[in-house]
């Protein structure tokens, strides 16, 4: 019970920090929205023809699930920077002298970042709907999509915690998640992997974001999901477990 109470206290602390310094949160929301405006509003007609549709109205149905996933990936930067700031500014040493659960600091970061990321993702969904995105998914399909996004958010948040723990300064912590944010571009988020050169196509087909995107697209747009759903769950679980173990070890070794 003490660990739960301490984690709730750290969660309130992180949410208050987010309200006082909203720049990172705003950037997390703005980046995927700008991507949506760029790829649909500017390149939509050309790209829509390439994926089998005559216009950007057809293309938004293809690209929106990928951009929604990018919103989840964008949340990594907030987590990484927040953890790194705590580790480099000495507050962790002070917390360790207090009678609080050691795990509560990281748990508070993860819970707070997940709340911010999921809210940001919801904002991106609203913008996509306003731009013409329409789904064929049922209530159960939407529940499945929300569950998948929540699992991915949990996994990537713990991965971002690891990045924040290994970073030497907040600047480095803000750069580390860029690879995670870039990976969906090398998947099926913007164009089908079949349209890519052979080497890039192989990477796109087997990297972790592609099955997640295809599962999300299948749930929302009614395309076949197949084994992508199970592969997505396996990737999310694997990333979460490995990142959690690494984060705990790195945090316990830090001074």
- Calculate ∠ Cα 150-152-155, nearest 5°: 110
Helix or strand holding residue 9 (H, E) = helix 2-20
**61, pLDDT greater than 90:** no
- In whole angstroms, give the CA distance from residue 177 to residue 179: 5
Using an 8 Å Cβ cutoff, are 101 and 2 in contact? yes
Q: Which of 177, 163, 152 is nearest to 240 (CA)?
A: 152
- In whole angstroms, give the CA distance from residue 47 to residue 131: 16
User: Of 7-21, 56-70, 162-176, 193-207, which gets the smallest average pLDDT?
Assistant: 7-21
Compute the average pLDDT of residues 233-255: 89
- In whole angstroms, give the CA distance from residue 148 to residue 215: 9
With a threshold of 0.85, does the pTM exceed it? yes
More confident residue, 44 or 164: 164
pLDDT for residue 244:
93
pLDDT for residue 152:
94
Q: Distance of CA 75 to CAs 46, 69, 157, 178, Å?
A: 29, 10, 8, 11
Q: Which of 249, 227, 245 is nearest to 237 (CA)?
A: 245
- In whole angstroms, give the CA distance from residue 145 to residue 100: 36
Burial class, 182, CB count within 10 angstroms (exposed 0-12 / middle 13-18 / buried 19+): exposed
193-228 pLDDT per residue, tens: 888 888 888 998 889 999 999 999 999 888 888 899
**17, pLDDT greater than 80:** no
What is the SS3 assignment for 212-255? Answer: HHHHHHHHHHCCCCCCHHHHHHHHHHHHHHHHHHHHHHHHHHCC
99-130 pLDDT per residue, tens: 677 677 788 888 888 888 888 889 889 998 88
Alpha helix ranges (H) inside 132-227: 139-166, 170-175, 178-182, 198-206, 209-221
Structural domain spans, the chain: 2-253
């Amino acid at each position: 019970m003490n660990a739960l109470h301490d984690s709730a206290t750290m969660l309130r602390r992180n949410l208050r920090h987010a309200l006082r310094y909203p720049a990172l949160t705003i950037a997390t929301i703005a980046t995927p929205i700008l991507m949506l405006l760029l790829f649909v509003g500017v390149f939509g007609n050309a790209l829509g023809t390439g994926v089998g549709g005559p216009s950007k109205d057809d293309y938004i149905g293809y690209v929106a699930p990928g951009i929604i996933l990018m919103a989840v990936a964008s949340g990594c930067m907030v987590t990484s920077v927040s953890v790194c700031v705590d580790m480099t500014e000495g507050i962790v040493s002070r917390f360790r002298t207090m009678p609080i659960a050691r795990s509560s600091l990281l748990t508070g970061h993860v819970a707070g970042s997940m709340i911010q990321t999921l809210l940001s993702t919801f904002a991106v969904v609203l913008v996509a709907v306003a731009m013409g995105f329409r789904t064929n998914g049922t209530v159960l399909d939407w529940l499945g999509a929300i569950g998948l996004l929540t699992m991915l958010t949990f996994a990537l948040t713990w991965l971002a915690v690891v990045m924040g723990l290994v970073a030497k300064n907040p600047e480095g912590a803000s750069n580390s998640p860029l690879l995670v944010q870039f990976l969906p571009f090398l998947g099926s988020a913007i164009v089908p992997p079949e349209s890519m050169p052979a080497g890039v196509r192989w990477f796109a087909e087997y990297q972790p974001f592609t099955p997640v995107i295809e599962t999300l697209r299948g749930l929302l747009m009614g395309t076949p999901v197949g084994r992508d759903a199970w592969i997505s769950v396996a990737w999310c679980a694997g990333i979460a477990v490995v990142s959690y173990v690494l984060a705990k070890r790195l945090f316990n070794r830090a001074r």
